[in-house]
Structure 1
């Protein structure tokens, strides 16, 4: 390092490295400016050649067709279209006579059926003829443009029928698509017809000006809900300037920025229109489904996902092949853009998977709620679903979010290996630091695996009892029958007494006098049990009807009769109250009384003795007063 030459060489290298980024940027800017200037000069010099080269190409196509025995290109194309329209007419006369319940399906078949028949017939005729080379190119490009335009017309018509596109928008869309199809076919023919490339670019510029005028006319004449003229004029001016800027980007061949600007305006409205159209089709196919059902979500969000994926694929194609994207010269920016495009697709798939899963789980929960209110054998299964599905939904959401986030970070160039390892170490540290939390979570998992309780069941554990309302990862929420809510961690539950599982046996005792006819009472109770079983409201809740088991024990003031019945869990109290009422009325009608405690007190005998004693005492006092001398006066 002390060598002067080596030190001088290192200083020069550092200076070059410091100047390299600015030099590279300056070179890119200068290259772009020189390219734009050369392009402008070439196009300006090609303007006088436009009519000459077009006329020459038209003459060569006509002469080649005439020399091979063919009519002019426009006549052959018209004949081919007429043959296709004849096949379309035959399809309408035969297939479209069928009636469909869904009007959108009928419109779909009415729009796409003729288009398919026209495409098949015209393509078959085109492939069967041995065309001259130039005439083959002309007919092929214009036929493809015609077929594509008709397909776009059919899609726009269906969108209008579904309410996603207005009549004004439909007419302007047809006009724009028609001009765009002719422009695409004409500019694509410049290379097969040996037309100068700059002349073809000028032709495409001419069509682009026409398309720009159509867009501006649609902006200023569109129906608007805005009633303030000044606000409407300001919005129209902004949209017009935006359209002109997009046209300038296209003219300058900045296709990446051009398509991003198109997406910014068209994509939100297109997604809304596609969503409404898909929803209308799905509603016509499954009229009983609600908006949040799995099939409706798949139809609507799936259609939107397809549109977004197609848009990302196209912008990726443009980014890869656009020669004027200066950002591609920087590997970091290029990798970031490619990662962002891939991340969009990943997020779309993650959102679609989550929405489908959520809709499916919510649909199952709704079905479980309906089944739980019934008394069928599906009630137990419904209760288990209502218990496990919310937990599974939350866990699935966490998994989808984590997987999508890690995948997006990986596509953006972030090394996710250290993140995963760090998350594992952090999880271990959290586990050691919060053993109670881990205990609650693990206990909850085993409670759910053992199917100890479900949502809607009444349980008791220690001093906690109530109806299970919901779960979390670490606790259960119990609603007491008097209203209070207990949030009990799973680790504190211990042994659980489930009072709502399978069946409930209810027993009670009634006291009657010693002289009661037990056989008669048993016969009466048997009739009451049959009446309860035949009751349309109570009968389905009884598994084994009311029976009198016999004399349970002999008490101090009567005998105790034992009664029992088996019912669905949670309904035994209601049935017992009804049984009490019916037993009381039946016993009173048949002269059977209920035993009551009595106490016998000899009150009358004690009163007579007391009176006799008091009389004897008074007589003795009178005799004493008569015998004794009077006191001295």
Structure 2
């Protein structure tokens, strides 16, 4: 935090800005005298010609090397002048403060910060929660209170800029600290080190932003930037070497990578520098942003909105990085993007492709989360229309999800290729020709896919329904683009192409009649059996477990036929589609057995009736008579 303290010291020594009608600063007078000097005028006239000759003779790489060397020399020679510049700025600020009788800017800065802290403290007492959202809201109150006081007064230009930039730096630092505290994966020591690093970085950025309003020499501002970057590099190297759980080889590799990235910035390759920074910092930044946003989302938020917030926030971070990189490439004179139009077109197309991929990823995950939420298993008991709608959704949504995945992938790939400069017209035409050839070569596959489309349009079956087609029967478990998966009631799974189904018998659509038969003895009271069956049907229809499934209760249809050993009674009931028909039928069988036994109605049993002696004698006489007739009729 040394640079932040130095910045506050500069602000403290500054005073109100001199008005435009006051005495002219000494530096302006010195500049006017220098411009009137004949030698200076002669050098200014010859300098552009010399620089153009050097650029022409040296070429692109030599020109870049010369410009980089000159910039580094000026920056290094300006480092010893930093204390003198600070003293000059402090003397000028002190002189302005004495001339206009204003308070030091540092005092005003402390007053604004105190007002914001008081407002934040009052808000914290009203809402003492320690959630991240409440802490962010408290910082918002802190910012609003300072802004209200800041814009309520008409500050002179120089103090206005100093105060505005300093307050923005404080607010940014506090916001980043809150986001770091929200992380659940960072260790407390890592959080402290990150806060120290960000404090120095924000202080350096703030001081560099104040360089021009404070009339600081640009070379000195660049020297301050260089010193700040060196301090940040030393901090990163120290933190890396002190980190735990990392091998020595990895620490050394990371330190060398940090030094290489810093060297890219020093030599002016800002595009490569920011690319390297994003490659190293984006993964952890995205995790931090995702965890922070996930902590801010209420628990009762549905999954689709949660995906939108979390992935949208990560995408916003990447888009901001892409936009910043595009700005660096655009304004960096040493960038290859500005030297070659083809490299520029490819580079900007690559950045646009990143944005397209992010949007496609967001759309796909939102649609997938919505489909998965609608595919959650629900209770089979409910209104018939709701059950039909849920079955229809469970049937069509998986197919729609697969089709959507293919569409998003194809469209995104074509857009990315177009942004990279590839002509997609021939690709689309070639894909059409290839599709026609593939259709002729795989007629069976096309037949299966088209048959599946028509089965879906006809709503022939849905997930969870029991169907029979040719020799295949079972419960529909799922679909693909060319086949249906059936689970037999004994356990085997059939994967049947749509083209092989043919006529489909759906045994679970709308309603179904469950029939079964019971054999009773010939002397059973049929009317009593009918009344008992009616009571059993009313009991089943009133059962909370099965009441929603009954359309017509259990009834005895009557005597179906006369069997070898008794009468066959027919029973039936009408139920809504579900997987509980067999369970209800078994429950009805148990209740019928118990009721019939209690009321003396006997079930039919196999019997053999054996005749008496008289019948046996008559049979024996008839047999002997037949034998005599056969003997007399025989030829002698």
- Above 0.5 in TM-score? yes
CA contact (8 A) 1:108 1:158 kept: no
Q: Distance in 1 between matches of 2:621 and 2:411?
A: 106
Q: Distance in 1 between matches of 2:406 and 2:82?
A: 62
Residue 134 (structure 2) aligns with: 109
Q: Distance in 2 between matches of 1:392 and 1:609?
A: 83
| 1:547 counterpart = 2:569 | no
Shift of 1:517: 3.5
Shift of 1:498: 0.6
Shift of 1:555: 6.5
RMSD of aligned Cα (Å): 3.1
Structure 1 gap ranges (5+):
1-22, 616-633
Find 2:299's aligned residue among 280, 286, 301: 286
Q: Deviations over 1:45-78 (max 9, x none)?
A: 545544434333332232223222213xxx3233
Find 2:526's aligned residue among 499, 507, 518: 518
Residue 338 (structure 2) aligns with: 328
Residue 135 (structure 1) aligns with: 159
- What is the count of residue pairs matched by the alignment? 568
The TM-score with structure 1 as length reference comes to 0.82
CA contact (8 A) 2:518 2:568 kept: yes
Residue 93 (structure 1) aligns with: 122
CA contact (8 A) 2:180 2:288 kept: no
How do 1:288-437 residues align onto structure 2 when only pairs under 5 Å count? 293-366=303-376, 369-372=377-380, 374-377=381-384, 378-437=386-445
| 1:220 counterpart = 2:236 | no
Residue 513 (structure 2) aligns with: 505
CA contact (8 A) 1:164 1:277 kept: no
Residue 88 (structure 2) aligns with: 56
Shift of 1:438: 2.3
Worse-matched range after superposition: 488-497 or 351-360: 488-497
Shift of 1:388: 1.0
Shift of 1:553: 5.0
Secondary structure, aligned partner of 1:77: helix
Q: Distance in 2 between matches of 1:146 and 1:358?
A: 41
Shift of 1:250: 1.7
Q: Which protein shows a greater Rg?
A: 1
Q: Distance in 2 between matches of 1:134 and 1:542?
A: 84
Cα gap change, 1:467 to 1:48, in 2 (>3 Å): closer
Q: Distance in 2 between matches of 1:433 and 1:414?
A: 29
Q: Deviations over 1:480-537 (max 9, x none)?
A: 2233333222223222111011222123444545554432332232233233334454
Residue 463 (structure 1) aligns with: 471
CA contact (8 A) 2:575 2:581 kept: yes
Q: Distance in 1 between matches of 2:536 and 2:160?
A: 96
Structure 2 gap ranges (5+):
1-54, 625-636
| 1:242 counterpart = 2:257 | yes
| 1:169 counterpart = 2:190 | yes
Shift of 1:305: 1.4
Shift of 1:557: 6.8
Q: Distance in 2 between matches of 1:90 and 1:123?
A: 12
Residue 587 (structure 1) aligns with: 596
CA contact (8 A) 1:164 1:272 kept: no
Shift of 1:307: 1.5
Secondary structure, aligned partner of 1:258: helix
Worse-matched range after superposition: 389-398 or 374-383: 374-383
CA contact (8 A) 1:64 1:134 kept: no
Shift of 1:540: 4.6
CA contact (8 A) 1:246 1:261 kept: yes
How do 1:475-494 residues align onto structure 2 when only pairs under 5 Å count? 475-494=483-502
The TM-score with structure 2 as length reference comes to 0.81
Q: Distance in 1 between matches of 2:581 and 2:225?
A: 85
